[in-house]
Structure 1
């Protein structure tokens, strides 16, 4: 019998997290289908990252609270239940998709949920309620029903075992190593960031250090008029965004995910968003991520460029992570095989 797996993607970072493990399982003969939330570029990125996989759109997220509550949750739950009843998989996996989890539980299908944000109390409770098993990075003491792995979840796809930077991407944007700053500006329509002001990096964009180009990953393209005209605004999906981050002098982000990604790639990273996250603290303690208020970002960028904090070189930092952290992709594959019923 061919084992069947269903995976739910609601955010681009979820696609990255599972990409290595899904290809490994597919090579071993697993039949894998993907469902995506119709949100921004998620369907397009999933299609580009997983050619040959069956991809289904279930639910929409238009960026409004009404859409989040009704289309992305209530209506999506009903549609997901019908979908699973028709297709019948042996197991489902997701990054905190309690929608997939609740639908799976109604038909007795095991589902595994991974996440790194215990501070998000509602999601945390819904995960425990709807998952067969929940997994978190070892960032705090959890109850015994939650299993942990020794790494952050971004390590699943940024470990040197699965990621190698390619200089070719620099040619696309006429960039040189270490001579540009990578910037990520997120929208504030998600529940995580609804209390954060919009386009906060734009408020000090005219004060960026001289002598460096700036590459901007701007989630809300309608706001590009707020930023300097000589900034390079990326058109997502980018062919190799993590290589762009890897070769930058430093990164600054108003969202937490890309701030962690940059730090894990050994790039000095400033997070200027409002969220206090235990996952971030891991990299703050390792001296690669800096949670800085908007009013202090310009000064902090200057200090990082001049290495006033005495940071170890990029490769040495990555080597330390490799020594300290386990292979998250192997962890995922092992748990899927353990819980799948077929």
Structure 2
């Protein structure tokens, strides 16, 4: 049951990186002026529930029906667009902010003003976004007719030093010290983004038994494959970016978290199959490497960090350098909201 409130802004979240991208803006928006919507997808709802400051999230559509492309369209996307139309009408929404396109199509039906952010503008998706939205923002590295280009990558919305300060307390739960452990992320290949890449790359890596490895698994059924010196991170992971910042190095078979580590100044390695412009920007900046899981893990294990304070200062210098060069996207979203209230 949904309660009628005097909100004017609807935020739609379809994937965890989209929540991370928008959460500072969402939490800065008064509770009685916002509606937050999401899809039931892996750990997304539980993380939003844990991090949303006040109120609750409205969830519709489930990825348990994502058997193939057709089922995703007919059983998830189309019903969600209809539901979002109902939400916009029911709550008299005046402005929609998203990082996909579904709520934008719903808003278009009612001529409700809306904007969309996109960091992976595939041809079909970007055309839908351009059709539906009043303004389409794409991230650094793209120049597409009819869109506005941000001078930043999406992860910077929440990793900018203005909004995130690493906290050593995050390490206490796992009993680790700064730079004494390797951190990794293994994504599931049963999704459209990763279906064509090798499965379980990180899990099957060999690593010295004296190396402590903290790993996030998208497919929790693989937990029994972990070796004795590997620790499964429990979702939702509290202050995951502090854990990431103080890790010796970070390895991921998914692209988003590899970029997060790179933008935190952490030695970052991407072992997935996707060749993305956002990844290449960080590679060209010398902040990330694209390598096989085994070679990346071996390289991280060989790193020697003797001076903790010096390494912290090096990573903070990377963050400050990026902050001086890139946009603060939260300010851009804030201006859009104020203009469209």
The answer, yes or no, to whether TM exceeds 0.5 is yes
Give CA deviations for 1:75-96 in whole Å, capped at 9, x if unaligned.
Answer: 2122222222222111011112
Matched, 1:258 2:261: no
Q: Secondary structure at the match of 1:192?
A: coil
Deviates more, 1:54-63 or 1:240-249: 54-63
* Cα distance in 2 for residues equivalent to 1:334 and 1:3: 18
Deviates more, 1:153-162 or 1:123-132: 123-132
Shift of 1:297: 2.9
- The residue that corresponds to 1:155 in the other structure is 156
- The residue that corresponds to 1:128 in the other structure is 130
- The residue that corresponds to 2:281 in the other structure is 282
Change (3 A) 1:140 1:303: farther
Change (3 A) 1:302 1:231: closer
* Cα distance in 1 for residues equivalent to 2:262 and 2:323: 14
Q: Secondary structure at the match of 1:34?
A: strand
The 5-angstrom pairing of residues 212-291 of structure 1 reads 212-291=211-290
* Cα distance in 1 for residues equivalent to 2:118 and 2:210: 39
Shift of 1:300: 3.7
RMSD between aligned alpha carbons? 2.2
Unaligned stretches of 5+ in structure 2?
Answer: 1-5
* Cα distance in 1 for residues equivalent to 2:209 and 2:322: 32
Select 1:24's aligned residue among 28, 32, 41.
28
Does the 8 Å CA contact 1:209/1:301 hold for their aligned counterparts?
Answer: no
* Cα distance in 1 for residues equivalent to 2:293 and 2:51: 34
* Cα distance in 2 for residues equivalent to 1:239 and 1:44: 12
Shift of 1:170: 0.7
Matched, 1:14 2:13: no
Give CA deviations for 1:244-278 in whole Å, capped at 9, x if unaligned.
Answer: 00100100000000000000111010000000000
Does the 8 Å CA contact 1:20/1:329 hold for their aligned counterparts?
Answer: yes
Matched, 1:93 2:97: yes
Q: Secondary structure at the match of 2:144?
A: coil
* Cα distance in 1 for residues equivalent to 2:91 and 2:234: 35
Does the 8 Å CA contact 2:182/2:300 hold for their aligned counterparts?
Answer: no
Deviates more, 1:262-271 or 1:38-47: 38-47
Select 2:88's aligned residue among 84, 88, 93.
84
Matched, 1:71 2:71: no
Give CA deviations for 1:134-164 in whole Å, capped at 9, x if unaligned.
Answer: 1012213222x21112111111101110001
Give CA deviations for 1:66-114 in whole Å, capped at 9, x if unaligned.
Answer: 5422222122122222222222111011112x21111100001011111
* Cα distance in 2 for residues equivalent to 1:212 and 1:30: 48
Give CA deviations for 1:27-67 in whole Å, capped at 9, x if unaligned.
Answer: xx860111110112212111111142242112111142254
The 5-angstrom pairing of residues 164-183 of structure 1 reads 164-183=165-184
* Cα distance in 1 for residues equivalent to 2:167 and 2:250: 18
**Alignment TM-score, normalising by the size of structure 1:** 0.90
Matched, 1:202 2:206: no
